[in-house]
Structures are given as C-alpha cells and as structure tokens.
C-alpha cells in the first residue's frame, strides 16, 4: 500500500512536470483531466483489504490482551472488530481467483460498474430523502412503518426490492389517514420512480459492465469504444503520455543543447513543437477532449 502511494505521488509529479510537452492529439494533457476513478487504479483493492483486515484483527487482539491486565472492553465491540476483520480476510482470498479469468469475472463486473452505480445513487438520493421526509411528516401517526426516518427508510427500501408493497398501501388507510388518495399517490409515484426507473437502470448498468468485462478479458467481442473508455485503459493512456513527453523532452534537449530550459507555463497550456523551437498554445484554443479525440471543426476555428 505504501509502495502504491509512492508510485501515485511520483507519477503525479512527473505528469505535472512533463504535461507542458503535450500536444493537441494527446489524451488527458493535464493531470486534472485524468478521471478520478482511473487514478484509483494506482491503489490495489486487494492490498487495501489486506491492510485493513490485518489492522482490525491486530486491534481486536490487543483488546483481548488488555483484558488480562484489567482493562475491561465490551465483548460486543470486541466481537464486532473480530467479525469485521474475519470478513475482510475472507474476502481477500478472492484475489487468487484473478489467475482464472472466468472465475474472476464477478469482481471484474463490479469494478467496471460500481463507479456509474455510485453516481446514479448519488443523483437519486435527494429524491429518496424527499419521500422519506414526506412519509414521516404525514404518515407517522397512522402507521408504524413510517414512525421515524429509520423505519421509513427501511419500508421504502423494501418497496424498491418489490417486497411489502400491498401491505404498505393498506397499512396507512387502515389507520384512518384522513386523505387516503395522497397515500396512494405517494406509493404509486415512489414505485414508478425507483422500481421501474432507478432499479432497472442498475440492471442495465451491470449488464453493460458484464459484457464489457468479458470483452476486456477476451471472452466476448464488444464495441471498441466501450473497451477503450474503461478506467484501466485511461491509465494506460496516461503512462503512454509520459513516455511520449519524455521523448519530446530528450528531442528538445538534443535540438537546443544542454542549455535548454524547461518552459514555464500555466496549468492547462500546451507546448507544441514548432520549426524554430518550442511554441506555447492554450488548451482552450486547441480544443482537446477526453479520450484523445479532437474535434476538427473546433480545431480549424
């Protein structure tokens, strides 16, 4: 984990130093333009799991030893630490499935789809929160399912899973809620938004991630656009940039001699090769876009 952090810092430092040799056709000409999820690939998920599982088990062992010296700690907390450590340790065993691509497909699917799923969840969270607040404020006196935010969230989540929908309809009206049609509209709209839209959207995301994962490991053909827009491919493009920029730096030194000095430019400027030396261009004028594709119409303007 420490080595991954060191590689990340060193690569970031090299990128910020050499980005001034980027050209219009280079993907991700600055470090900030590289997607955040691509940067996470610097850190091994399995090393992280191993680190935290070992740390948690170590802490729980210290707690058990401390009881021998008269330091009393709740057994519930101690077992909670042990449980979390054992869970993470068991999950880390799955890393060895990586040597068998078909068996590792499950984890590859989660890795490729989790970023989009988190974004969708973040987008839908305010709507879920709005329904939870409305349920507590209006139905709490008439139904135990909406007595507080915790119970309301559990009830709404159960409906997302397709469970307990009809009892929820009846539970509000049976306790003499004064405006029954409001409870009907409340449940109808929630089901439409979260089951027929959000829930099915998750299915579509992971279906696409499934086919993408099979294509990445060579088990299925998939449109090249999706394969070449994965976060791992973005990271490969970033390292390819470093190799190209280092070569351009060597060429500039060979052209201008040992007295060549690195041009001082602002973040977001590009250094383009000119016939008489080094020329600066602003990225906004060049019109680059992610993935290495350049809009020719904007370039001509």
Determine how many CB atoms are found less than 10 A away from the CB of residue 116. 17
Distance (Å) of CA 263 to CA 187, 199, 213, 245, 286: 63, 52, 42, 14, 19
Distance (Å) of CA 227 to CA 41, 42, 143, 162: 16, 19, 50, 34
280's enclosing H/E stretch is strand 277-282
pLDDT tens for residues 87-141?
988 888 888 887 887 888 888 888 888 888 999 999 999 999 999 999 899 888 8
CA atoms within 13 A on the CB side of 135: 30
pLDDT given at position 293: 37
Whole-structure pTM value:
0.60
pLDDT given at position 133: 93
Find out whether 64 and 85 touch, Cβ atoms under 8 Å.
no
pLDDT given at position 113: 84
Determine how many CB atoms are found less than 10 A away from the CB of residue 198. 16
pLDDT given at position 175: 65
The parts of the chain modelled with pLDDT lower than 50 are: 264-301
Find out whether 201 and 191 touch, Cβ atoms under 8 Å.
no
């Amino acid at each position: 984990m420490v080595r991954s952090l060191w590689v990340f810092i060193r690569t970031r430092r090299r990128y910020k130093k050499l980005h001034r040799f980027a050209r219009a056709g280079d993907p991700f000409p600055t470090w900030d333009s590289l997607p955040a999820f691509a940067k996470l690939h610097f850190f091994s998920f399995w090393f992280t799991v191993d680190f935290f599982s070992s740390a948690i088990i170590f802490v729980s062992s210290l707690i058990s030893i401390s009881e021998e010296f008269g330091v009393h700690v709740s057994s519930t907390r101690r077992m909670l630490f042990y449980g979390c450590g054992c869970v993470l340790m068991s999950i880390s065993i799955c890393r060895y499935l990586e040597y068998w691509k078909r068996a590792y497909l499950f984890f590859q699917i989660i890795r490729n789809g989790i970023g989009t799923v988190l974004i969708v969840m973040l987008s839908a969270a305010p709507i879920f929160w709005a329904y939870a607040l409305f349920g507590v404020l209006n139905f709490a006196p008439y139904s135990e399912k909406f007595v507080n935010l915790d119970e309301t969230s559990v009830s709404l989540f159960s409906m997302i899973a397709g469970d307990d929908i009809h009892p929820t309809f009846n539970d509000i009206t049976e306790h003499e809620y004064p405006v029954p049609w409001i409870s009907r509209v409340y449940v109808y709209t929630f089901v439409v938004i979260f089951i027929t839209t959000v829930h099915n959207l998750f299915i579509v995301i992971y279906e696409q991630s499934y086919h993408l994962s099979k294509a990445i490991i060579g088990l299925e053909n998939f449109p090249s656009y999706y394969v070449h827009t994965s976060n791992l491919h973005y990271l490969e493009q970033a390292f390819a940039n470093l190799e190209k920029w280092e070569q351009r730096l060597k060429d500039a030194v060979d052209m201008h001699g040992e007295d060549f000095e690195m041009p001082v430019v602002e973040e977001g400027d590009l250094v383009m090769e000119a016939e008489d030396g080094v020329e600066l261009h602003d990225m906004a004028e060049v019109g680059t876009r992610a993935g290495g594709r350049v809009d020719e119409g904007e370039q001509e303007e």
